[in-house]
Amino acid sequence: MKTTAKTFLEMKQQGQRIAEITCYDYTTAKLIEASGINAILVGDSLGNTMLGYPDTLSVTMEDMIHHSRAVSRACSNTMVIMDMPFMSYQASVYEAVTNAGRLMKEGRGNAVKLEGGAAVKEQIKAIVDAGIPVQAHIGMTPQSVNAFGGFKVQGKGEEAAKKLLEDAYAVQEAGAFSVVLECTPPKLSELISKKLTIPTIGIGAGAGCDGQVLVYQDMLGMNMDFVPKFVKKFANVGEIMMGAFAEYMKEVQEGTFPEEVHSYVKSDCSDEFLKKLEAEL
Residues of the shown chain interacting with ligand KIV in the complex, contacts defined by CB under 6 A: 22, 41, 43-45, 83, 137, 180, 182, 203, 213, 215
Cis before 85 (ω within 30): no
- Helices assigned H by DSSP within the chain: 5-13, 26-35, 46-49, 61-74, 93-102, 121-129, 145-148, 158-174, 186-195, 216-219, 237-254, 271-280
Which candidate in 95, 182, 247, 254 is catalytic?
182
**Cα angle value 267/268/272 (rounded, 5°):** 80
What are the b/e assignments for 221-241, b being 16+ CB within 10 Å? Answer: bbbeeeeeebbeeeeeeeeee
- How far is it, in rounded angstroms, from Cα 281 to Cα 278? 6
Q: How far is the CB of 264 from ligand KIV (least distance, A)?
A: 41
* Contact of 103 with 84, CB cutoff 8 Å: yes
Q: How far is the CB of 45 from ligand KIV (least distance, A)?
A: 3
Q: Please, which residue, 155 or 247, has the CB nearer to ligand KIV? A: 155
Q: Please, which residue, 63 or 182, has the CB nearer to ligand KIV? A: 182
Q: How far is the CB of 132 from ligand KIV (least distance, A)?
A: 17
Q: Please, which residue, 21 or 104, has the CB nearer to ligand KIV? A: 21
Residue nearest to ligand KIV (CB): 43
Q: How far is the CB of 57 from ligand KIV (least distance, A)?
A: 12
Q: Please, which residue, 12 or 137, has the CB nearer to ligand KIV? A: 137
Does the annotation mark 182 as catalytic? Answer: yes
Supply the residues annotated as catalytic. Answer: 182
